């Protein structure tokens, strides 16, 4: 039975990519809530697909001693036996993988020049002090080390914050543009030649992402087209140059957060989306 269910699910997903059914499904876009919850149990988030492609193109950078936010799954997936040590950084030691407990934007006590590669994924919208976080992300790398990082151009706005169980509520502070991201790196004394920026997205990909439409339900053209006027995800490969030593940016902290208790992830749906329209 599990094999049959899997086969039926695959047939259903393939059928949704047929032109006729896709056009019929477009009628469901007239709605005030996403099409489904946030777990993507029936497919892959389009931003995860884009990020996976970017990492696959730069997998040779994932080597030596590597650092990741929250866990080490991505390091191990893309680094394999090139990785000699995998560390995770987070605000709290919620698992044995978290060997560095720190706020990335205030990571003064974490030693510099330590890691060969730092994978920072899907965290920048929730870090208020972007410049400080990028400064420390580069400072922690060895000279010649590589930062692989992404920035959301479109993201869900958690309007009263989200309790992630790390001690502090998560808030969404930023949604980025390519020109903004490149200027952050240049202000931190990197040259354009040190930074490779790849931008993914188009109008349909942006709409599909916000509706929780899995990538498998988009046509190849809808997934692959890159429209510079409709970016969805910015992916950056930044190399720390020899002699990099910019001044530490002045720290900035938020002055306001929404009142009331933060939302919690639903144990049923795996999503904070139960908060829509409240």
CATH, residue 204: 3.40.50.150
Residues 16 and 108 in one domain: no
Q: What tens digit of pLDDT does each residue of 170-211 get?
A: 999 999 999 999 999 999 999 999 999 999 999 999 999 998
pLDDT category of residue 232 using cuts at 50, 70 and 90: very high
pLDDT category of residue 13 using cuts at 50, 70 and 90: low
* CA angle 270–274–277, rounded 5-degree value: 150
Output the pLDDT for position 235: 99
How many residues would you count in the chain? 278
> Which of 149, 151, 122 minimizes the C-alpha distance to 38?
122
Domain count, the chain: 2
pLDDT of 12 > 90? The answer is no
Report the C-alpha gap between 121 and 112 in whole angstroms: 20
Residues 10 and 90 in one domain: no
Tokens read off for 29: 């876009």
In a domain, 119, yes or no: yes
Output the pLDDT for position 247: 97
Residues 123 and 17 in one domain: no
Residues 110 and 213 in one domain: yes
Report the C-alpha gap between 264 and 226 in whole angstroms: 34
Residues 6+ apart with CB under 8 A from 182: 192, 195, 197
Output the pLDDT for position 253: 97
In a domain, 253, yes or no: no
Query: Which DSSP category does 33 fall into?
Result: S
Mean pLDDT of the chain: 89
Tokens read off for 217: 């339900």
Report the sign of the C-alpha dihedral through residues 252, 255, 258, 259, in that order. Answer: positive
Output the pLDDT for position 260: 81
In a domain, 45, yes or no: yes
Residues 152 and 21 in one domain: no
Residues 57 and 168 in one domain: yes
Residues 23 and 38 in one domain: no
Report the C-alpha gap between 144 and 155 in whole angstroms: 31
Q: What tens digit of pLDDT does each residue of 59-88 get?
A: 999 999 999 999 999 999 999 999 999 999
Crossing angle of helices 130-139 and 178-187, in 10° steps, is 50
pLDDT of 228 > 70? The answer is yes
Residues 190 and 122 in one domain: yes
Residues 19 and 128 in one domain: no
Residues 122 and 1 in one domain: no
Region 37-62: mean pLDDT is: 86
pLDDT category of residue 40 using cuts at 50, 70 and 90: very low
Output the pLDDT for position 37: 57
Residues 20 and 38 in one domain: no
Output the pLDDT for position 263: 84
Region 246-270: mean pLDDT is: 85
In a domain, 258, yes or no: no
In a domain, 79, yes or no: yes
Residues 144 and 105 in one domain: yes
> Containing domain of residue 1, as a range?
1-30
């Amino acid at each position: 039975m599990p094999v049959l269910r899997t086969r039926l699910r695959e047939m259903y997903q393939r059928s949704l990519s047929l032109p006729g059914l896709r056009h019929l499904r477009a009628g469901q876009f007239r709605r005030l809530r996403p099409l489904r919850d946030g777990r993507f149990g029936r497919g892959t988030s389009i931003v995860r697909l884009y990020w996976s492609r970017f990492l696959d193109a730069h997998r040779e950078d994932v080597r030596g001693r590597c650092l990741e936010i929250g866990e080490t799954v991505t390091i191990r997936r893309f680094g394999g036996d090139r990785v000699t040590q995998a560390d995770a950084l987070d605000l709290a030691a919620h698992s044995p993988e978290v060997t560095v407990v720190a706020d990335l934007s205030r990571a003064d006590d974490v030693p510099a020049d330590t890691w060969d590669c730092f994978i920072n994924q899907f965290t920048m919208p929730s870090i208020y002090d972007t410049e400080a976080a990028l400064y420390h992300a580069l400072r922690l790398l060895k000279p010649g080390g590589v930062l692989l990082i992404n920035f959301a151009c479109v993201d869900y706005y958690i309007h009263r914050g989200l309790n992630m169980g790390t001690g502090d509520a998560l808030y969404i502070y930023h949604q980025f543009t390519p020109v903004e991201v490149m200027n952050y790196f240049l202000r931190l004394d990197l040259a354009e030649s040190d930074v490779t920026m790849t931008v993914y997205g188009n109008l349909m990909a942006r709409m599909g992402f916000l509706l929780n439409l899995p990538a498998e339900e988009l046509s190849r053209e809808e997934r692959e087209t890159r429209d510079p006027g409709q970016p969805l995800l910015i992916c950056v490969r930044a190399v720390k140059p020899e002699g990099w030593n910019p001044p530490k940016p002045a720290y900035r902290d938020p002055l306001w957060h929404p009142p009331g208790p933060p939302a919690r992830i639903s144990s049923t749906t795996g999503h904070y989306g139960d908060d829509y329209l409240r």
